[in-house]
């Protein structure tokens, strides 16, 4: 349904003058109902301006947007109402706006000063708005800037709510209205937007429900749909024929829209189910990743514990090895200390061999010879690891002549025995 509306808008852009469709909204093939007959509620205070009611369109069809009094966004601005315009294949909505001049609003006679061309309900002068009491209900509100002037409707279509098409208003914009349409505009105020939103969600405002005669035709302030400021419609502007005038094509369009809506809902449900399944898978994957991370952390912790244990065992082995080496060194030192130094054996005393008994020596000749001195025996050679050989006994000196008995020789000191050298096995 929405796609077909956008296509129809594209066609309208090519077939309708720019001034006629300056602003576009939704487009449909069924004309809006006639404007209901109602009275204007009393103005709430000085400074408010009247904005007429109109038929809006939503998913459930046309709904009435009540006329209401609104404070303009700034002094000097006037309200140009929106209107429905036929473009050859569909109706398109042209939204209202605020501006210095009132532009084209389809020639639709909204009443209360909006007779189809311009605005006869008042004017700005030196920052103050002057109200025409012939079309504005000022009631008992004290307003000094007032005047009374009869407003003549310029159209014979008193309750027709659209321009062009079958039975629509045939008016076209004037040069002044085209100029106003192209001028700078100010969009509806926030209060006006809320007013439309409230009407679109109120089931009683649907044309299919109120048959073109809404119970809330106008309000004294935007969005206030209850209280003494609410005015009900006196009658429908024309017999409500929307249901009877539907063709097979429009029926098919509605069915197609229902099918499209059902398909969209189905697609949305499927998408939601897919998103839910994807979210579940994501959560499962995340849980698995977290579990794997926990297992990895446990493995790393166990590996670190084993590494610490191995390191402790290595350190213990190193300590034991050091203790063993220290003990071996201590035993070696003890063994060395336990072996006494070997004393050198005393050299054997060389005793002269006793001479054979001889007769008493003869007196020495005139030149007496002295007995030769006994030579010292040579020192024996020292051999490694063996005790020195005993020195052989010295032979007595032979006297050539008779000599007095020799004095006994002094005992030679014992020869020192070379120390034995032990061969230690290599370690």
pLDDT, average across residues 388-397:
50
CA–CA gap between residue 38 and residue 232 (Å, rounded): 7
Nearest to 145 by CA among 285, 36, 46: 46
pLDDT of 383 higher than 60: no
List the chain domain ranges: 2-242, 246-320
| Confidence at residue 90, expressed as pLDDT on a 0 to 100 scale | 94
Residue 319: pLDDT band with limits 50, 70, 90: confident
Q: Which residues contact 15 (CB under 8 A, 6 or more apart)?
A: 87, 88
> For the chain, what is the mean pLDDT?
76
Strands, E, within 44-174: which ranges? 49-51, 54-58, 61-65, 67-70, 78-80, 83-86, 91-94, 97-99, 122-125, 128-132, 146-147, 162-163
What is the pairing mode between strands 83-86 and 162-163?
Answer: parallel
CA–CA gap between residue 31 and residue 24 (Å, rounded): 16
Q: Which of these ranges, 225-229, 266-270, 274-278, 339-343, has the smallest mean pLDDT?
A: 339-343
pLDDT of 306 higher than 50: yes
User: What is the tens place of the pLDDT at every residue in 351-376?
Assistant: 444 444 455 555 544 444 444 454 44
| Confidence at residue 12, expressed as pLDDT on a 0 to 100 scale | 41
| Confidence at residue 260, expressed as pLDDT on a 0 to 100 scale | 65
Q: How many CB atoms lie within 10 A of CB 53?
A: 26
- Residue pair 353/393 in contact (Cβ under 8 Å)? The answer is yes
- Residue pair 221/71 in contact (Cβ under 8 Å)? The answer is no
Residue 256: pLDDT band with limits 50, 70, 90: low
- The angle at the Cα of 105, spanning 104 to 108, to the nearest 5 degrees, equals 130
- Higher confidence at residue 201 or residue 256? 201
Highest-scoring range by mean pLDDT, 25-34, 213-222, 281-290: 213-222
User: What is the tens place of the pLDDT at every residue in 122-180?
Assistant: 999 999 999 999 999 999 999 999 999 998 765 667 899 999 999 999 999 999 999 99
| Confidence at residue 152, expressed as pLDDT on a 0 to 100 scale | 77
CA–CA gap between residue 220 and residue 95 (Å, rounded): 22
pLDDT, average across residues 89-103:
96
């Amino acid at each position: 349904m929405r796609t077909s509306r956008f296509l129809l808008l594209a066609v309208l852009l090519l077939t309708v003058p720019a001034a006629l469709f300056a602003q576009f909204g939704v487009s449909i093939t069924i004309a809006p109902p006639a404007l209901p007959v109602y009275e204007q509620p009393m103005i709430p205070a000085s400074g408010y301006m009247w904005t007429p009611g109109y038929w809006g369109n939503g998913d459930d069809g046309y709904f009435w947007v009540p006329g209401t009094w609104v404070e303009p966004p700034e002094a000097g601005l006037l309200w140009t109402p929106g209107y429905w315009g036929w473009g050859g294949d569909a109706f398109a909505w042209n939204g209202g706006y605020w501006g210095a001049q009132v532009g084209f609003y389809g020639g639709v006679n909204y009443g209360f000063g909006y007779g189809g061309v311009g605005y006869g309900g008042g004017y700005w002068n030196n920052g103050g708005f002057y109200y025409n009491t012939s079309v504005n209900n000022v009631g008992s509100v004290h307003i000094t800037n007032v005047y009374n002037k009869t407003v003549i409707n310029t159209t014979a279509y008193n309750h027709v709510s659209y321009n062009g098409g079958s039975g629509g208003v045939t008016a076209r914009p004037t040069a002044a209205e085209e100029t106003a349409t192209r001028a700078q505009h100010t969009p509806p105020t926030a209060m006006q937007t809320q007013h439309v939103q409230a009407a679109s969600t109120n089931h009683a405002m649907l044309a299919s429900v109120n048959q073109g005669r809404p119970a809330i035709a106008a309000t004294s302030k935007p969005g206030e749909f209850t209280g003494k400021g609410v005015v009900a419609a006196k009658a429908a502007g024309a017999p409500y024929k929307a249901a009877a005038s539907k063709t097979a094509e429009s029926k098919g369009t509605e069915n197609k829209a229902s099918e499209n809506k059902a398909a969209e809902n189905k697609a949305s449900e499927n998408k939601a189910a897919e998103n839910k399944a994807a979210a579940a898978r994501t959560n499962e994957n995340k849980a698995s990743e977290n579990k794997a991370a926990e297992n990895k952390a446990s493995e790393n912790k166990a590996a670190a514990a084993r590494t610490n244990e191995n390191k402790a065992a290595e350190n213990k082995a190193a300590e034991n090895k050091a203790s063993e080496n220290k003990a071996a060194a201590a035993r070696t030192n003890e063994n060395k200390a336990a072996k006494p130094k070997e004393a050198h054996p005393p050299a054997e005393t060389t005793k002269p061999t006793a001479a054979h008994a001889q007769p008493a020596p003869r007196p020495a000749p005139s030149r007496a010879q002295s007995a030769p001195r006994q030579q010292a025996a040579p020192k024996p050679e020292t051999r490694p690891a063996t005790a020195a050989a005993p020195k052989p006994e010295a032979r007595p000196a032979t006297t050539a002549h008779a000599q007095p008995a020799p004095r006994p020789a002094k005992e030679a000191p014992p020869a020192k025995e070379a120390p034995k050298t032990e061969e230690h096995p290599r370690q």
